[in-house]
Amino acid sequence: MDFTVPGEWVDFGDALLKFVDREVAPLEHEHRALLSSERTVYAPDGRFSPEVLALRRQVRMRSAELGFYTALSPESLGGGGLGAQAACYIQERLNAHVGPDRPLVQTVVLPSPFTNGLSPVLKHLDPAVLESVHDELASGGKTMCFGLSEPDAGSDVFGMRTRAVRDGDHWIINGTKQWITNAPYADYAMVFAVTDEEKARAHKGGITGFFLPTSTPGFSVPSVIPTMGHLGGDIAIVSLDAVRVPDTHRLGPVDKGLLVALDGVNAGRLSMAASCIGLAQWALTQAIEYSKVRKTFGGPISNHQAVQFMLAECAMDIYSAKSMIRHCAWLVDQGQPATKEVSMVKASATEMVGRVFDRAIQVHGAMGLTNELRLEAGYRYARTLRIPDGTSEIQRRTIARQLLGGDTSI
Ligand SMILES: Cc1cc2nc3c(=O)[nH]c(=O)nc-3n(C[C@H](O)[C@H](O)[C@H](O)COP(=O)(O)OP(=O)(O)OC[C@H]3O[C@@H](n4cnc5c(N)ncnc54)[C@H](O)[C@@H]3O)c2cc1C
């Protein structure tokens, strides 16, 4: 295999980082009073404050104007279609450069790959409907959310209680979605509902995807769910009360919604893993620099073998996850099956970044526990990643099922 990074990706990465440094960082600096405290980042109900939302929109739209926002989306949707390897390389560079906890950068400069922007899930939308929303999604002017999970259906998707019932050339959807990223702010929602009880009970399909404006009567977001010590956030509960959706707004064929959803989820897993590599590199860089300047017992702590080992273990962790991801993205770009590989990469990278932040905090001593250096925020963020887009246990379940089903190549 040739691991040489093509010049085109390097140029893209350079330009993206320049954009962040020249346009986003100054904006963060200008609004640092607003952005430095969660009490002003979030409104009392946990939603981003209107000022933060306006800034996020401004950055999104500027990123789109410069061609970054949709560069990683499929070509068939009008995106840059750079492919999985390029997407991983670029996510990794962005995250290694900016680190964690930058509300104007993370998932704004580059959208999360399936819940926003020109999501691959939109390939399953009726062409006329897609055309009517394409430009506003591509420009970053409007955003989406992806509603699969429910209070009683996370890992076990077939536990879904949301129902869609046909009513002439429409569907009526009733149910509750939970943990839905960007739901409080989204203009459109991709929502999945049971359309055939028997098939769903037998785990043989029976779930259909729908695309709808969040302004549709009956769609509401009753509450945001703050997690991991935050005062607010972007994951929320969605209530669907007799929401009427035209059949033309279906995502893919009736009863085949899970295949549609997986199209997005798989892209999300790889991208999340790549962002973990970048974040882990960022944390290791902080730890290396600190270890050279912090002195104990008459010399820098980098002289102590125990500290050196922590740095070395971080590097070993990052290198192995990075090698896995490069290979997996290559398989995806070749069009080869990569079900167990994507799961291995998602589980490994999200677990790896937790270990690296843990060690980076340890190297910083008490300083690591403050949020001066954003290590503490990174540690909390890293901890969240083992749950969305399939938990670590569900990834292992997928890997084992593939192995036991005969896919034993490694
Ligand atoms: C930050 C964040 C953002 C999210 N964004 C979205 C979103 O935009 N859209 C969306 O639809 N969902 C979203 N989710 C939901 C996410 O996909 C679910 O939380 C996840 O699938 C796990 O489901 P659960 O929380 O119900 O846990 P459960 O399924 O209840 O699992 C609980 C525990 O049991 C384990 N477990 C369950 N089944 C098995 C099994 N068969 N074998 C072994 N262990 C098992 C799990 O691994 C876990 O440890 C998000 C979640 C988070 C945290």
Question: Is residue 409 one of the residues assigned to a domain?
Answer: no
CA of 394 to the centre of ligand 1 (A): 9
Q: Whose CA is nearest to atom 35 of ligand 1?
A: 393
What does DSSP assign to residue 146? E
CA of 225 to the centre of ligand 1 (A): 15
Q: What is the DSSP string of 51-75?
A: HHHHHHHHHHHHHHHTT-TTTTS-G
pLDDT tens, position by position, 352-406: 999 999 999 999 999 999 988 999 999 999 999 999 999 999 999 999 999 999 9
Query: Using CA of residue 205, residue 133, residue 109, residue 368, what is the dihedral sign?
Result: negative
- Residues 281 and 243 both lie in one domain: no
Reported in sequence order, the residue ranges of 334-373 that DSSP labels E, i.e. its strands, are none
What does DSSP assign to residue 192? E
Report the atom number in ligand 1 closest to the C-alpha of 390.
21
CA of 387 to the centre of ligand 1 (A): 5
Report the atom number in ligand 1 closest to the C-alpha of 393.
47
Contact 73, 119 (CB under 8 A): yes
- Residues 118 and 206 both lie in one domain: no
Question: Is residue 1 one of the residues assigned to a domain?
Answer: no
Enumerate residues 6+ apart whose C-beta is below 8 A from 53: 185
Contact 341, 327 (CB under 8 A): yes
Residue 387, CA distances (Å) to 137, 146, 351, 390 in order = 27, 16, 10, 6
Q: Whose CA is nearest to atom 51 of ligand 1?
A: 388
What does DSSP assign to residue 290? H
- Residues 330 and 310 both lie in one domain: yes
Enumerate residues 6+ apart whose C-beta is below 8 A from 318: 277, 280, 281, 284, 352, 356
Q: What is the pLDDT along the chain (410 residues), one digit of tens a residue?
A: 788 999 999 999 999 999 999 999 999 999 999 999 999 999 999 999 999 999 999 999 999 999 999 999 999 999 999 999 999 999 999 999 999 989 999 999 999 888 899 999 999 999 999 999 999 999 999 999 999 999 999 999 999 999 999 999 999 999 999 999 999 999 999 999 999 999 999 999 999 999 999 999 999 999 999 999 899 999 999 999 999 999 999 999 999 999 999 888 888 999 999 999 999 999 999 999 999 999 999 999 999 999 999 999 999 999 999 999 999 999 999 999 999 999 999 999 999 999 999 999 999 999 999 988 999 999 999 999 999 999 999 999 999 999 999 999 99
Structure tokens at 269: 């897993």
Which of these three, 115, 138, 161, is where a domain ends?
Answer: 138
Which residue range(s) make up the domain with 26? Answer: 7-138
Enumerate residues 6+ apart whose C-beta is below 8 A from 14: none
Domains in the chain: how many in total? 3
CA of 253 to the centre of ligand 1 (A): 25
